[in-house]
């Protein structure tokens, strides 16, 4: 099988990247978040956002700015169905895939709708909002989604498509490297769970349909029919505005029109079983009635996503799984030259580092862990929690080594 990284692929969420180095008032339409190698030249830099995570997951949209692909602004959401209404019908599937009729794919897509949620996030540190999809794992409101759907969220709500109710949600935990997260809907009971299938049985050529909140605007769920084109694929996730990059592996590649907002939603086989979680899509999307090409997507096999979710819900921390609240150092940063630490670009007012760090300082160690890059800083923060007092070492703008102890604050999700 082909394991080469794929190029020109976007996250299938409906967020926008934010450049933390913009001057005050400098909001602008940022370039799309893509899968593929960072652009060359110039040499890419990585940025560390104010709430303790790699910009890989920092998808934001400025208030009153349209989404990157021409949909309406994310805060202009369609009204959710009331509890008395029937489950919203999935939008009509128009084509036949490898002998599987459109009617069969329509039924398959509709079968999973009661076990789905629409996820909406407020990104308070960036003055933005985001939207995605989730898969209901338990009747009491444990929901599987992508880490990048909830990344940076200061507030999360989820609308259950089975009963039409909207719930506040909290992050149970996440695994950034697997792009998997679990959120819990507060006060939820009696939810319909998604029908999960066997992703190990998926074969190249299988007919599938991706279901989700395409465009992030709410309303009836959309269906993207297609077929499996490859298995066990690796892709590089990169942010064109910052150059940050990370690899995702073991993915199912599909020829289907997965769109922004579909992230975290189910990829369904022709029997109506969830065999994957939509995670990435090609640069072309069909929004607002306009076909801009594309039609390539990637999904995390549901067996793998479910295993990570099980570790999260059991409270089992690991080198990659973070349980509960995220810690916040309160800086933006970029990679230092030649692995020479993480260079501070901005310091968040009243953040944990505000009393000791300044723009231009280079962080070289945190909590005793050497810091050679923004990625190392992110991974170290992921092992820590709000309230932890940790030593930090840096080289100031005069080339002098400094050290202090900082108490980490509570940050945004993931």
Catalytic residue list contains 148: yes
* CA Rg value for the chain: 21
Beta strands in 257-295 (DSSP E): 266-269, 274-282, 286-287, 290-291
Active-site residue identified among 19, 175, 179, 262? 179
Residues 6+ apart with CB under 8 A from 111: 195, 268, 272
CB atoms within 10 A of CB 37: 13
369-395 CB burial, b ≥16 within 10 A, e <16? eebbbbbbbbbbbbbbbbeeebebbbb
Residue 126: name the closest of 158, 149, 151, 157 by CA.
151
Given 6, 10, 148, 322, the catalytic residue: 148
Tokens coding 140: 């009491």
Write b or e for each residue in 176-199: b if 16 or more Cβ atoms lie within 10 A of its Cβ, otherwise e: bbbbbbbbbbeebeebbebbbbeb
Distance CA 370, CA 198 (A): 42
Whether 316 is catalytic: no
Report the candidate in 323, 293, 46 with the shortest Cα–Cα distance to residue 176.
323
Report residue 287 as tokens.
Answer: 């929004």
In angstroms, the CA 226 to CA 80 distance is 28
> DSSP string of 131-182?
EEEEEE-STT-EEEE-HHHHTT-SEEEEEETTT--EEEEEEEEEETTTTEEE
Considering Cα of 118, then 173, then 321, then 328, what sign does the dihedral take?
A: positive
- Is 263 an annotated catalytic residue? yes
Q: Which of 199, 238, 263, 373 is catalytic?
A: 263
Distance of CA 342 to the CA centre of its chain: 23
Q: Which residue numbers are catalytic?
A: 148, 179, 263
């Amino acid at each position: 099988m082909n394991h080469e990284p794929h190029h020109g692929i976007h996250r299938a969420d409906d967020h926008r990247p934010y450049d933390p180095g913009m001057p005050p008032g400098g909001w602008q339409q940022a370039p799309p978040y893509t899968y593929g190698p960072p652009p060359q030249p110039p040499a890419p830099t990585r940025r560390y956002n104010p709430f303790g995570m790699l910009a890989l997951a920092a998808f934001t949209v400025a208030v009153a700015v349209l989404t990157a692909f021409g949909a309406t602004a994310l805060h202009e959401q369609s009204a959710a169905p009331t509890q008395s209404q029937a489950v919203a019908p999935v939008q009509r599937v128009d084509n036949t895939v490898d002998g599987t009729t459109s009617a069969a794919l329509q039924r398959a897509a509709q079968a999973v709708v009661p076990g789905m949620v629409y996820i909406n996030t407020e990104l308070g540190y960036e003055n933005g909002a985001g939207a995605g999809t989730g898969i209901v794992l338990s009747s009491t409101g444990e929901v599987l989604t992508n880490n990048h759907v909830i990344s940076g969220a200061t507030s999360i709500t989820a609308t259950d498509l089975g009963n039409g109710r909207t719930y506040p949600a909290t992050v149970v935990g996440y695994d950034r490297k697997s792009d998997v997260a679990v959120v819990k809907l507060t006060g939820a009971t009696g939810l319909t769970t998604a029908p999960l299938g066997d992703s190990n049985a998926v074969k190249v050529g299988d007919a599938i349909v991706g279901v989700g909140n395409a465009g992030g605007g709410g309303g009836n769920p959309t269906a993207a029919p297609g077929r499996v084109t490859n298995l066990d694929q690796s892709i590089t996730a990169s942010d064109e505005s910052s150059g940050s990059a990370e690899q995702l592996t073991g993915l199912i590649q599909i020829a289907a029109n997965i769109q922004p907002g579909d992230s975290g939603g189910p990829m369904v086989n022709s029997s109506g079983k969830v065999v994957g979680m939509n995670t990435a899509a090609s640069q072309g999307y069909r929004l607002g009635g306009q076909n801009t090409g594309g039609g390539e997507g990637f999904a995390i096999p549901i067996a793998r996503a479910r295993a990570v979710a099980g570790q999260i819900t059991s409270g089992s921390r690991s080198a990659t799984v973070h349980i509960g609240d995220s810690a916040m150092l309160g800086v933006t940063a970029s990679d230092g030259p030649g692995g020479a630490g993480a260079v501070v670009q901005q310091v968040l007012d009243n953040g944990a580092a505000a009393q000791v760090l300044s723009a231009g300082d280079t962080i070289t160690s945190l909590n005793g862990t050497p810091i050679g890059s923004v990625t190392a800083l992110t991974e170290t923060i992921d092992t820590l929690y709000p309230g932890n007092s940790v030593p930090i070492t840096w080289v100031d703008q005069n080339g002098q080594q400094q050290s202090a102890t900082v108490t980490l604050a509570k940050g945004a999700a993931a």
